[in-house]
């Protein structure tokens, strides 16, 4: 009998979380600032998402954009955020830490993992910036982490499909290798068919326009000057529904 593929939807708002669940997603990764690749969401966002959804919530623990080599103060904030996520009813946390030479930061990863329990732990795409994927996967297996999110160390999962296939085989039943990275309706069946992955990570968004009727054209609030402050990406229920159906 074929196994059911678990579809995790990456979201960065309460409304998107609700839309993902309505579309049939089995789990959500809750972030802020997807334009930065996902940062730690606020306590309010976690709490209200927990109130408005019933599926598992995995909370991103990432204090800033950029690399995954964290200072002592950044690491201290990650520890506090893990405790916050646990207190607010999250089912799991998602983080990734590397050493300067591109290896898994085993010491800090082990500390955060122990602190997170009994929540599940996902090591995110910091894995894709590590130097040796085979050794990195074995390090995570040794830490008894539930899963690793990876694009196969390429810009997109479909480009990294060959490494993803090897990692799924290497992992066996010891850890879940979850492909993620710009997966859409065209690439999802190809990735699942080629890798044998049991879980997959998608976004499935659409652009919507702001309801603002007054728009100051002379000011912007932190995005690139050639981008609009008056459009945003939200999770598209119908796209999630389609991706879930394709995964079946």
Strands 147-150 and 120-123: parallel
Could you tell me which residues come within 8 angstroms of residue 236 by beta carbon, excluding any fewer than 6 positions away? 19, 23, 204, 205, 206
10-residue mean pLDDT profile of the chain (248 residues): values are 82 98 98 92 98 98 97 98 98 98 98 98 98 98 98 97 98 98 97 98 93 84 69 93 96
- Residue given tokens 């089912």 in the structure block: 91
Strands 199-202 and 205-209: unpaired
Position 39 scores a pLDDT of: 97
Q: From CA 189, how far away is CA 162, in angstroms rounded?
A: 15
Position 100 scores a pLDDT of: 98
Q: From CA 122, how far away is CA 167, in angstroms rounded?
A: 15
- Residue given tokens 């909370």 in the structure block: 59
Q: Find how far residue 131's CA is from the centre of its chain.
A: 20
**DSSP run (H or E) holding 60:** strand 56-60
**DSSP run (H or E) holding 6:** strand 6-11
Sign of CA dihedral 53, 115, 63, 123: negative
pTM: 0.94
The domain 6-204+236-247 having CATH identifier 1.10.287.70: the answer here is: no
Cα angle: 90, vertex 94, 96; to 5 degrees: 155
Tell me the domain boundaries of the chain.
6-204+236-247
């Amino acid at each position: 009998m074929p196994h059911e593929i678990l579809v995790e939807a990456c979201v960065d708002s309460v409304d998107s979380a609700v839309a993902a669940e309505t579309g049939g997603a089995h789990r959500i990764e809750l972030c802020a600032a997807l334009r930065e690749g996902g940062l730690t969401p606020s306590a309010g966002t976690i709490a209200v998402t927990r109130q408005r959804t019933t599926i598992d919530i995995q909370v991103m623990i990432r204090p800033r954009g950029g690399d995954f080599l964290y200072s002592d103060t950044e690491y201290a904030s990650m520890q506090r955020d893990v405790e916050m996520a646990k207190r607010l009813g999250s089912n799991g946390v998602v983080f990734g830490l590397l050493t300067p030479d591109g290896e898994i930061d085993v010491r800090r990863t082990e500390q955060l993992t122990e602190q997170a329990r009994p929540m599940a732990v996902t090591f995110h795409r910091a894995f894709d910036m590590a130097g040796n994927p085979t050794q990195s996967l074995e390090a995570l297996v040794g830490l008894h982490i539930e899963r690793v999110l990876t694009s196969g160390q390429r810009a997109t999962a479909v480009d990294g499909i060959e490494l993803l296939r090897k990692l799924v085989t290497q992992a066996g039943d010891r850890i879940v290798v979850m492909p993620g990275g710009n997966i859409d309706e065209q690439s999802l069946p190809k990735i699942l068919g080629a890798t044998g992955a049991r879980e997959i990570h998608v976004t499935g968004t659409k652009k919507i326009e702001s309801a603002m009727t007054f728009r100051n054209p002379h000011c912007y609030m932190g995005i690139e000057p050639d981008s609009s402050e008056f459009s945003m990406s939200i999770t598209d229920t119908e796209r999630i529904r389609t991706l879930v159906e394709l995964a079946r």
